[in-house]
Amino acid sequence: MKPHPQAQLFNSASVDAYRGLVGEGADLVARHVAAARSPFSGIDHRALEREFAPIDLDAPLGDADAALDELARVYLRDAVWFHHPRYLAHLNCPVVLPALLGETVLTAVNSSLDTWDQSAGATLVERRLIAWTAGRIGLGPGADGVFTSGGTQSNLQALLIARDEALGGDLARLPRLRILASDAAHFSVVKSARLLGMGANAVVAVRADDERRMDPVALERALERCHRAGELPAAVVATAGTTDFGSIDPLSAVADVCARHGVRLHVDAAYGCGLLVSPTRRDRLDGIERADSVTVDFHKSFFQPVSSSALLVRDTAALRHAGHHADYLNPRRMAERGIPNQVDKSLQTTRRFDALKLWLTLRVMGADGVGALFDSVLDLAAEGHALLTRDRRFRVVVEPQLSTLVFRWQPPHAPADASLLDAANLHAREALAASGAAVVAGTVVDGRHHLKFTLLNPASTVADLAVVLDLLDAHATAYLAADQAA
Ligand SMILES: Cc1ncc(COP(=O)(O)O)c(C=O)c1O
C-alpha cells in the first residue's frame, strides 16, 4: 500500500524519517565527493539529455532510494565539482562546512525573511550580519542593507536607488540619467540600466588603464562631458574585483572625483569583498568606506554556498526605494511600532534565510579563518603569475590584484595568424573540459581569445596549475598540428 502523502510532510511525526533522509542525502553526496577524481566527467550535453528522456514526472518512483539512484545518474555522476583543485574556471568557491550546516538548518525551518511573523530571530541574525559587514566596510552609523540573491540583484537595487535619488520624483529626467562604469565592470550594470528603463546606452564606459582599473582622469572627463551635454550622472560604479581580471578600481581617487561632482558612488565588491576579512590585504579596499552603496557576494569569496550576497548602503533611508506597504503583510503601523522586518528593504518578498550560513561560519571559524582562506588563493594567484611569466608557451595579461589569471597560449614557434591562435586557445579550453581533467574559463581581451584561471580554491596548488598548463599546451599543439595536416 502506498504511504499517505501526509507522511512526506516535515513535522513532529516525521522527524525520524527526516533524520534518515537527510543522512542518506549527505551520504550520497559524500560518496560522490570522495570518489571525484576530476572536476567534471566531460559528458556531452546530448548524452546527458538522453538520460532525461525516459523520465516521466507524472510517474513517481515511490521512494527516496529509487529517486536518489536516478538523481545520481542524471546529476551527481556528471556534476561540476567546485571543491576539486583543478576546477579553475568561474567565480565559484568550494564551501565551508559550517555553511553547509547552516543550509541544512535553514532549509528545514524554512523561515522567510520578509516579516517578523515569518522569521523572528532570523531577521535579527540578518540584521546583525548586515551591521557587521557595514562595520567592516566602514560605512558609518547610518548604514543598513539587506541580503540578496547575488551580485546581479545587489547591483540592480543599488542602481534603482541611484535612479530614484537622481529622479527626485521627476520622471521627465529619466532619459538624461547616466551611469558611469569602467569597461571592465560586470554586465549586470548594463542589464540593470535596461531593466530600470534607462536603456543600455545610459551606461557610459570609462576607460580602464593597462591594469584594467578605472582611470580617474578619464572618469573626471566623462563626468564633465555629461554635464556639458546636459546629462545627469546618477551614479559611478567602481568595481573592487572585476570579473575578468580581479582588478580593483582606485577607490579613493574615484571617491574624490565623485565627491567633486556630487555623484553617488556604488562599489561592486562582489568578488573583492573577501578582502574585508583578509588579515594581510584589507588595504586594497581603502576608499570603499566612502561609497554610498556596496555589493558583496559571500558566495564568491567567503566560501558560502549559493546564494549568499548583500547590498549595503551608507544611509538606511536609501532602502525606501524598494519599500512598499501592503495591508496583508507589512502595514505601516508595524514599522511605526518598531517591529523589525526586512521586506521593506528588499526587492524580494519571500526570501531564503541565507544569512544563517554566514552566521554559523563566523560563529564556528571566525572572520580571520575566512580571510586566511581568501589570502591563500591570493598567494596562489601570485605564484601562478610567476609560473606563467616564466613559461614561454603562454603570455599573461596582467599581474593579479585578486585571484584571476588571464593568459593566452602563444608559444614562440606559433604561427603569426592571430585567428588561428584564437581557435587554438578556444579548442584547448573546450578539449580540456571534454576530457574532464580540469575546467578553465576563457574570455576575450582586446578582441582576442584568452584563457582564464579564477582561483578560489585554497586546496589548489601551483603544481595543479602547472599540470593544467601542460594539458592546455598539449591540446592547443594538437589542434595546430591537425590544422596544418589538413
Ligand atoms: C564583479 C561582479 N559583479 C557582479 C556579479 C554578479 O554576481 P551574481 O552572479 O552573484 O549575480 C559578478 C559575477 O561574477 C561579478 O564578478
Give 218-261 pLDDT, tens digit per residue: 999 999 999 999 999 999 999 999 999 999 999 999 999 999 99
Q: Mean of the pLDDT values across residues 277-281?
A: 97
In the structure grid, which three cell numbers stand for residue 258, read together?
565623485
Taking residues 29-33, report their average pLDDT. Answer: 98
Residue 407: predicted pLDDT = 98
Ligand 1 atom closest to 91 (CA): 14
Best mutation site among 182, 295, 297 for ligand 1, i.e. most ligand atoms within 8 A of its Cβ? 297
Q: b/e map of 277-286 (b: 16 or more CB within 10 Å)? A: bbeebeebbe
pLDDT at 269 over 90: yes
Please state at what angle helix 45-52 crosses helix 64-74, rounded to 10 degrees: 160
Q: Which run of H or of E encompasses 217?
A: helix 216-228
3-state secondary structure of 390: helix
What percentage of the chain exceeds 90 in pLDDT? 93
Confidence of residue 199 (pLDDT cuts 50, 70, 90): confident
What is the reported pLDDT for 323?
87
Q: Is the CB of 270 under 6 A from ligand 1?
A: yes
Distance CA 284, CA 382 (A): 15
- Asked whether the beta carbons of 464 and 86 are under 8 A apart, the reply is yes
CA 53 to ligand 1 center in whole angstroms: 33
Give pLDDT, residue 153.
98
What is the average pLDDT across 19-48? Answer: 97
User: 305: how many CB neighbours lie within 10 A of its CB?
Assistant: 18
Phi first, then psi: what are they for 461, rounded to 5°? -120, 170
Range of lowest pLDDT (32-41, 64-73, 87-96, 323-332): 323-332
259-265 mean pLDDT:
98
From the CB of 404, is ligand 1 less than 6 Å away?
Answer: no
| pLDDT over 90 at 415, yes or no | no
Label the pairing between strands 293-297 and 264-269.
Answer: parallel
Q: Is the CB of 151 under 6 A from ligand 1?
A: yes
Q: What does the pLDDT read at residue 201?
A: 87
Using the atom order of ligand 1, give the atom closest to the CA of residue 242. 1
**pLDDT-derived band at 102, boundaries 50, 70, 90:** very high
Query: What pLDDT is attached to residue 484?
Result: 87
Residue 1 has pLDDT above 80, yes or no: no
Q: Is the CB of 271 inside a 6 Å radius of any atom of ligand 1?
A: yes
- Determine the average pLDDT of the residues in 164-184: 97
Residue found by looking up cell 521593506 in the block: 344
Substitution candidate for ligand 1 out of 183, 214, 300 with most atoms within 8 A of CB: 300
pLDDT given at position 452: 98
Residue 327, pLDDT score: 85
Would you say 138 and 312 are in contact if contact means Cβ atoms under 8 Å apart? no
Cβ pair 385, 410 in contact under 8 A:
no
189 CA from centroid of ligand 1 (Å): 10
State the chain's mean pLDDT as an integer: 96
Confidence grade of residue 137 (pLDDT, cut at 50, 70, 90): very high
Domains delineated in the chain:
14-82 (1.20.1650), 111-363 (3.40.640.10)
Backbone angles phi, psi at 142, to 5 degrees: -90, 10
pLDDT at 402: 98
Atom of ligand 1 nearest to the CA of 150: 10
Residue pointed to by grid coordinates 580571510 = 371
Query: Tell me, what's the pLDDT at 2?
Result: 76
For residues 1 and 125, the model is more confident at 125
Q: Is 186 in the pocket of ligand 1 (CB under 6 A)?
A: yes
Q: Is 150 in the pocket of ligand 1 (CB under 6 A)?
A: yes
Task: Report residue 326's pLDDT band, with 50, 70 and 90 as the boundaries.
Answer: confident
Could you tell me the pLDDT band of residue 138, with boundaries at 50, 70 and 90?
Answer: very high
Largest Cα–Cα distance of the chain, in whole Å? 79
300 CA distance to ligand 1 centroid (A)?
8
